[in-house]
Structure 1
């Protein structure tokens, strides 16, 4: 295959990802509205804990949320969000329940939302940003929790910061993004295409980041807020981020994970193979398996079924770290 053909394929791959991002945004808003109608819920933004821009010395300024401890000795959860979203957008359906029992810390990852815009997107830098945020907040140890892309980051957080990782909760995620020959070709072509285009991506991401307003105020229409959060991550970030995910492969070291771990599988997942999610659990000696019946977007669109499974997985890990498992409270309508 000639370089000319590879570059042509790369351009097509990039265009496809950008088009997918735009379509995904429209689907997200329609899905939120449909979910509201289906469950007869008032279209309002749930109460969200306030966030702020935090300077991470030598790294940059990042948007972060710290709910504080609901009671003395409450364990801390460090939440990693999914691809093309923000910390709020990934976790807005869960954070109210989580913060009732735990101190919750989360941040917008690099090239996402109000995260750091670096020369390139590296998963390793994302988890090191999270560790630097813990330094600023004076937090020594956390249970690392990740959804989809965030699951890869949580795995990598344990790898790079074992002394700070009390446990892991890995939801709708994989040990490796490349699996088939098609994946191999796609990610290889994408990596080649990203090299000459990376500077352009970064400038476009920086332009979006600089123009962002303050996060939405409570009381906004939920679909309007969700659309604003979704658009805060530039579509131009996706080829670079996907290229980094394509190089992620934790299979060789997951067998050394020695902290309590729970893997939450989405049983009808069409984005990340359910079979491969279960394979992730099988690779980790300390992992328990928890299954939710929905698809990859269950964290937003099937909260009724997904959230109890997720909360039970978190409680399971926390209990195995030596903390008392919290009582599960009924969710608000």
Structure 2
């Protein structure tokens, strides 16, 4: 399958992207989550979507992967407990390095670079939050929106499971070696991932090594997490989304609870909620056929509406 790589300019930043499939097919833009590189959308997953007639584009968010890093810029937001409490009641935390709005503009810059007026927007976790902002702020460029394992950060939603939150936010050991960091990332993936569909240990270690060798930049995670806190509740964005919207969530997700997905589906007019049995905060390979089927059916439905 044809694969093309490049970089798009978003202000002063360079956003690294990769695309699959026929350039003449309808575009699908995949947005990944906090601290996650575009390769978390596995190549075979992207090719599976492209094989049924879509031009699939994945990219590294700012501060991750091979995109520009904001070296020396503080994450901002103040003391973490104060920030989390403010966020829990739906208030944006001031003073963060950037917000999800700027990250949505980065996504738009990728489309600009490729000369694409519109695309199906698909986001996972924080990427799902960016997708909500994008579908609101760039409505004319959104063929459809899909929000996977995400939330709209409405006030007083149940918090993440403590074990999952600690696994996500626990800082890496000081002076950790490559092998130690691979072990840390494997442990994190196990804690937040799907117990019903555990990854093959050898494959999981291979992927963790790939992620580390491609880009290890933990401060980028901190700035991206601050961007979530700095944006606050997304309900106002959701209420203006006009594009056909699919909310896809795992029944076992304890990091981003199902209540968050239900909040998105309730706030976006006409949104459809699909709960994937046995899925947690990952995209297990045994579920790809179901997930890709839901995505492409949604894209097709959206095309008929326009």
Q: Which structure shows the higher helix fraction?
A: 1
Give a deviation string over 1:179-215, Cα, whole Å, max 9, x none.
46978xxxxxxxxxxxxxxxxxxxxxxxxxxxxxxxx
- CA separation in 2, counterparts of 1:258 and 1:78? 18
- CA separation in 2, counterparts of 1:172 and 1:93? 20
Match of 2:260 among 259, 272, 276: 276
Match of 2:251 among 267, 270, 281: 267
Partner of 2:13: 60
Partner of 1:86: 37
- CA separation in 2, counterparts of 1:288 and 1:94? 22
Residues 1:315 and 2:302 are matched in the alignment: no
How far apart are residue 95 of structure 1 and its match? Answer: 0.7
Partner of 1:97: 48
Give a deviation string over 1:150-198, Cα, whole Å, max 9, x none.
0001111112211111110110000117646978xxxxxxxxxxxxxxx
Structure 1 182/298 Cα, relative in aligned 2: closer, same or farther at 3 Å? Answer: closer
Give a deviation string over 1:58-95, Cα, whole Å, max 9, x none.
4322211122427x4x2110110112211112343521
- CA separation in 2, counterparts of 1:182 and 1:304? 28
* Residues 144 and 154 in structure 1, CA contact (< 8 A), matched pair in contact too: yes
Please show how residues 294-309 of structure 1 align to structure 2 within 5 Å: 294-299=278-283, 302-305=284-287, 307-309=288-290
- CA separation in 1, counterparts of 2:299 and 2:268? 17
* Residues 64 and 221 in structure 2, CA contact (< 8 A), matched pair in contact too: no
What TM-score do you get using the length of structure 1 for normalisation? Answer: 0.64
Pairwise CA RMSD: 2.7
- CA separation in 2, counterparts of 1:177 and 1:279? 7
* Residues 49 and 296 in structure 2, CA contact (< 8 A), matched pair in contact too: no
Partner of 1:49: 3
Structure 1 270/230 Cα, relative in aligned 2: closer, same or farther at 3 Å? Answer: farther
How far apart are residue 103 of structure 1 and its match? Answer: 0.3
Structure 1 284/221 Cα, relative in aligned 2: closer, same or farther at 3 Å? Answer: closer
- CA separation in 2, counterparts of 1:80 and 1:156? 12
Instruction: Return the index of the structure with the highest Cα Rg.
Output: 1
| 3-state SS of paired residue (1:285) | coil
- CA separation in 1, counterparts of 2:207 and 2:293? 28
How far apart are residue 228 of structure 1 and its match? Answer: 2.9
Residues 1:237 and 2:220 are matched in the alignment: yes
What TM-score do you get using the length of structure 2 for normalisation? Answer: 0.69
* Residues 151 and 172 in structure 1, CA contact (< 8 A), matched pair in contact too: yes
| 3-state SS of paired residue (1:239) | helix
| 3-state SS of paired residue (2:144) | strand
Structure 1 243/169 Cα, relative in aligned 2: closer, same or farther at 3 Å? Answer: same
Residues 1:109 and 2:61 are matched in the alignment: yes
| 3-state SS of paired residue (2:225) | helix
Match of 1:150 among 127, 139, 148: 127
Please show how residues 189-208 of structure 1 align to structure 2 within 5 Å: none
Structure 2: 5+ residue stretches without partners = 74-96, 161-201
- CA separation in 2, counterparts of 1:318 and 1:243? 32
Q: Which runs of 4+ in 1 moved over 6 A?
A: none
How far apart are residue 117 of structure 1 and its match? Answer: 1.8
Q: How many residues align?
A: 236
* Residues 29 and 56 in structure 2, CA contact (< 8 A), matched pair in contact too: yes
- CA separation in 1, counterparts of 2:112 and 2:148? 26
* Residues 56 and 132 in structure 1, CA contact (< 8 A), matched pair in contact too: yes
Structure 1 167/284 Cα, relative in aligned 2: closer, same or farther at 3 Å? Answer: same
Structure 1: 5+ residue stretches without partners = 1-46, 184-219, 325-333
Structure 1 182/148 Cα, relative in aligned 2: closer, same or farther at 3 Å? Answer: closer
